[in-house]
Structure formats: C-alpha cells, structure tokens
Amino acid sequence: MISKKMLETGSRKSIIRVIFDFGKERAALIGAENVYDFSLGNPSVPAPEIVHQCIRTMMEEESSTDIHGYTHLQGDINVRSKIADDINREHKTALTGANIYMTTGATASLRICFSAIANPGDEFIVIAPFFTEYRIGIEQAGGKMVIIPARTKDFQIDFEALEAAINPATKALVINSPNNPSGVVYTRETIDQLTALLRRKQEELQQPIYLVSDEPYREILFTDEKLPYLLNEYDNSMVCYSYSKSLSIPGERIGYIAFSPKLTDYTDLFTAACGSARYLGYVNAPSMFQKVAAICNGSVANIDIYRQNRDRLYEALISYGYECVKPEGAFYLFPKAMEEDASAFCAKGRELNLLMLPGDDFGCKGHVRIAYCVDPMVIERSLPAFKKLAELYKKGQDL
Ligand code: PLP
C-alpha cells in the first residue's frame, strides 16, 4: 500500500492549480490578452544583467568540475563567507561563513529550520495572513501550527492574541515581512514590540522561543524606511532568505539561512540543521547558483515596475470602491472581497476573466490576493473588469 498521507497531499488540488487551469482554458478560447491573471507570484521583471554576465564568465573561465561539482552540504565556504561579509557590511552584524547555510530557496530554508528545532507536538505560531506552505512544512516537521488571526485594519500583529497564544509548548514564531499575501511591511514599532514580548516570554517560561523570519521579499520595498535586520533585534533568530524574487530567478532554487551566532544552543542547532537537511533529502544547493548568489548578492531586479503596478492598481481599486491596506512591499494587494465568501467573489471575478486567489488558504477569509507581478499592460487592460465587478456588487446584481 502506498502512503495514504502523500496520496492525499498529492491529490489535493490547490486553488492555484484550479485557477491556473481555468486561465489556460480561457486563454485558448478568448486569447491570452483577454485573461487577467493575477494568481501567481512569479516575478515578471527580468533577472539583472549581472546574473547572466557572471554565468557567462563562469562558463568561460572556470572548470566544469568547479562549476558543477558537489559542494559541502552547507554550501561552498567561499560563497558563505562572501555573503556573511556582505550582511556584516550592510547590517553591522558579526557573522562568519559558518553562520550561513546555502539552500534551495526560502522553502528549503524554512523546512530545514522547522525540522531542526521541532520535537513532536511543539507549537509554531504563524501570523495570518501567511504563506500557504508553512502548514505543510510545520506538519512535516512534527510540529503544530497555531494561527494568530489577522489584524485586518493594517495587517500588523495582534499582540494581545499573540501573547495569549505563547505557552510552554511554543517552540517558534514564524514571520514574513514584506508579506505574502498582504504586501504589508512590519513597522519598526511592530518589530520592537514583538522582540520585547518574545524576550519577556522567554524569561517567564525559561525556554528559548525561536524567531524564524521568512524574507524572500526583503528588497522589494517601496518605502524609504530601512527594514530592521532581525539578527540585530533578537538573539534567537534565523533569517530565511531567497534570491527567487530579488534576482527574479525562482526556478534556479537558491537561497540561504543566516543563523544568529547568539542562538541558544547554537552548535547543536546548526548541527541539527545539517541533520534536518540530510533527512529532508537536500544534498547541496545548486553549485553554479551558489556562485551566482555570492557575486550578485545585493543586486536587485528592476523593482520600479512593481512599484508602478502597485500605484496604478491600488489607486484604481480604491477609486472603484474596494477596501485595501496600501502595501509597502512584495508584489501583492490583499483587498477585501465584496462579499463574505471570498471564493464566491473570485468565481464572479473569473466570469470577467479576472484571476485572483481567495484569502482562505492564507488564513484570512473575506480577502483576495492579487499578484501584480505582471506586465503593466495586463493591469491597464484589467481595470474595466475590476470596475465592472465593483459596480455589480454595488448594484447587487448578478453577473
Ligand atoms: N515564503 C514566501 C512568503 C513566499 O512568498 C515564497 C514564494 O512565493 C516562498 C517563501 C518560497 O520561496 P522560494 O522560491 O525561495 O522557495
């Protein structure tokens, strides 16, 4: 008998798949230009030229075994040292290459951290709305996911609910700012309040509470305010970083974990991370893209396009009567659906060829995610449909 659990997981058709299939069918029928697909968080801007340039140079100047060979499980030490030096320069940290673990992107970074710290039944707190894959990663690690409901007025953190949720079973808190799906960036005040609360709770409970910060959108930021670097804010923190979005290379699978040198039981924890990666079947992150990451670290794709898209779409939606917290990062809008059932709202949108995702899977009912990492023309063409959808709700009409 095959694994029931894996069969069930593999058979569960995600809403993204349903919408993706719908989009393909509609495009074949009415032309791709008439389908407004805002369902996927796939970067729409090209990778910066430096990415291709360094691949070309590598191919010309380095030996095949150097480019394509295995590296250490944790990654090439030169790559890890270069990244640590860059982080130190930017954030005034004191990391060495030994504190960096190269991974196949943020998904793997999170999985490695979760499995490294979880014992059966340990609780992992996530703040809604949250990235859908947290659930499967926490479950797989043997942990239990505890959800703090969304503070929908601004998508910062409901601290009363968070404090009430922390108990002796709490192992870690997972945060994500800039956030998928809300696009919201945690303010300095939120980070200060959060880290003060965690320190106080650690003291009270006499146990470490780890902070796992999921940061694939770190550079996709539309405010001049600098994002606090969590390793400087809270000793028990790990930053899960990915180049998928900053360099527009999600298919290449490259990222890293930065472990705070001040983590409780640091040596054991890092050793457990190595064990966790082995257990999960990660050998080493792609060696060629480890080198690309080292050279291109700090470079960012042209995020001005995302900012233009955000401004155009946000302002248009507000003028049509949608309610939405203005996002300051990532490439998502998370407006309120115009009826309680966000899936029904998305289904009505699909009748106008607007493809959006209901917030339910992100732990926040009644909202929809619009991924605006698309060609600006898609936004222009979609606006009459967004307007019509709002008008139909205002008039209380069926489509
Ligand atoms: N975390 C968040 C919040 C994301 O939005 C994504 C991808 O969309 C990931 C993690 C996974 O990123 P990666 O491609 O690096 O695995």
DSSP sequence for 258-303: EE-TT-TTHHHHHHHHHHHHHHHT-----HHHHHHHHHHTT----T
**C-alpha 105 – ligand 1 centre gap (Å):** 7
**C-alpha 106 – ligand 1 centre gap (Å):** 5
Q: Which of 104, 130, 133, 254 to mutate to test the pocket of ligand 1 (most atoms within 8 A of CB)?
A: 133
- Tell me if 91 sits within 8 A of 229, measured CB to CB: yes
Cα-Cα-Cα-Cα dihedral sign, residues 221, 373, 213, 72: negative
Instruction: Supply the pLDDT for residue 234.
Output: 98
Return d(Cα 354, Cα 315) in angstroms, integer: 18
Instruction: Supply the pLDDT for residue 5.
Output: 86
Ligand 1 atom index nearest CA of 255: 15
Three-class SS of residue 237?
A: strand
**Residue 242 region, left (φ>0) first, then alpha (ψ -120 to 50), else beta?**
beta
pLDDT (tens place) for every residue of the chain, 399 residues total: 899 988 888 887 667 778 888 888 999 999 999 999 999 999 999 999 999 999 999 999 999 998 999 999 999 999 999 999 999 999 999 999 999 999 999 999 999 999 999 999 999 999 999 999 999 999 999 999 999 999 999 999 999 999 999 999 999 999 999 999 999 999 999 999 999 999 999 999 999 999 999 999 999 999 988 899 999 999 999 999 999 999 999 999 999 999 999 999 999 999 999 999 999 999 999 999 999 999 999 999 999 999 999 999 999 999 999 999 999 999 999 999 999 999 999 999 999 999 999 999 999 999 999 999 999 999 999 999 999 999 999 988 655
**C-alpha 249 – ligand 1 centre gap (Å):** 12
**C-alpha 194 – ligand 1 centre gap (Å):** 23
Ligand 1 atom index nearest CA of 242: 15
CATH number, domain 4-48+302-395, options 3.40.50.1820, 1.10.3720.10, 2.60.40.10, 3.90.1150.10: 3.90.1150.10
Give the Cβ contact number of residue 254 at 10 Å: 27
Using CB distances shorter than 6 Å, the residues near ligand 1 are 41, 105-107, 131, 176, 180, 214, 216, 242, 244, 250, 255
- Of all protein residues, the one whose alpha carbon is nearest to atom 2 of ligand 1 is 131
Q: Which residues contact 326 (CB under 8 A, 6 or more apart)?
A: 314
**C-alpha 203 – ligand 1 centre gap (Å):** 32
- The CATH class of 66-296 is alpha beta
Instruction: Supply the pLDDT for residue 398.
Output: 57
- Of all protein residues, the one whose alpha carbon is nearest to atom 12 of ligand 1 is 106
**C-alpha 109 – ligand 1 centre gap (Å):** 10
- Tell me if 262 sits within 8 A of 50, measured CB to CB: no
**C-alpha 51 – ligand 1 centre gap (Å):** 20
CA–CA–CA angle 90, 326, 229 (5° rounding): 20
Q: What is the DSSP letter of 218?
A: T
Count of residues in the chain: 399
Q: Which of 101, 180, 369 to mutate to test the pocket of ligand 1 (most atoms within 8 A of CB)?
A: 180
Torsion, CA 335, CA 136, CA 261, CA 72, rounded to 10: -120
- Tell me if 226 sits within 8 A of 198, measured CB to CB: no
Q: Which of 245, 289, 332 to mutate to test the pocket of ligand 1 (most atoms within 8 A of CB)?
A: 245
Ligand 1 atom index nearest CA of 41: 8
Return d(Cα 378, Cα 164) in angstroms, integer: 44
Instruction: Supply the pLDDT for residue 20.
Output: 80
Same CATH fold assignment for domains 4-48+302-395 and 66-296: no
Q: Where are the domains of the chain?
A: 4-48+302-395, 66-296
Return d(Cα 157, Cα 20) in angstroms, integer: 32
**C-alpha 259 – ligand 1 centre gap (Å):** 18
